[in-house]
Amino acid sequence: MEPEHFYWVGGALTLAALVASAIGLKNDNFPPSRGALLGLIAVFVFLVVGSTTYAVVNARDEQAKHRAELEHEQEEAGAEELEAGEAGTEGPITGDEGAAEEAGEEEADQADDAAGADEGGASGPVAMTEYAFGPDSVTVRNGDTITAENEGAVVHNLTIFDGEEELAGTEDVDPGASGDLEVDIDAGDYEMICTIPGHEDLGMAGEFTVE
């Protein structure tokens, strides 16, 4: 409903009231008959009902328009959030994400190296990481020297045990450093572990065979 219609009806009602008041003030016999009175009342009733109807309809139209605007704004905001989320997911890897990816690649390379060494026993230095030896099965001869390289982020060591008896071992090795172990042990099957508290429980143990 156009708001101009409401203004026309309201203006007509005001004008009719002014005209009726002016005539009534000048003429004591106004309205001149009962029919004229009923007609005047009918006109005023029509104008009042019309203006009220226009007001109600216009109010409903305004509410519907306002509701539609709110829904449109919510849809636009939701679309913007979705686009921002997709951009953040598909964006370039930087900062901490890049460092995490590099760390994952390094761990994968270390695992590959350990798997290759496992197939034929120890063929080089023994790597120490969190929390494993690479390889986890080492075969040496009496008199050999084993180099344990700490490729992890915390202190580790490589210690040989025969049951509960400690036979030999490296010193505690800082991250990025290495320690040597000269094998002076009788032929047999033994266990190598890291004796730093808690490391063996986390899986830092393996087989150590002397031929």
CA nearest to 1, candidates 65, 48, 69: 65
pLDDT at 188 over 50: yes
Report d(CA 185, CA 190) in Å as an integer.
Answer: 10
pLDDT tens sequence across 103-149: 656 665 555 554 444 443 444 799 999 999 999 999 999 999 999 99
Provide the residue type at 201 as one letter: D
pLDDT at 187 over 80: yes
**pLDDT > 90 fraction of the chain, expressed in percent and rounded:** 40
Instruction: Please state, rounded to an integer, the average pLDDT across all residues of the chain.
Output: 77
State the pLDDT at residue 70. 81
Helix (H, G, I), strand (E, B) or coil at 205: strand
What is the distance, to the nearest Å, from the Cα of residue 184 to the centroid of all Cα atoms in its chain? 55
Q: Report the chain's terminal Cα–Cα distance, integer Å.
A: 101
SS3 percent helix, strand, coil of the chain, rounded to 5, is: 50, 20, 30
- DSSP 8-state secondary structure symbol assigned to residue 92: P
State the pLDDT at residue 41. 74
State the pLDDT at residue 190. 96
pLDDT tens sequence across 20-30: 666 655 666 65
pLDDT tens sequence across 43-80: 767 767 766 776 777 677 777 787 888 888 878 877 77
**pLDDT > 70 fraction of the chain, expressed in percent and rounded:** 61
CB contact at 8 A, 183 and 192: no
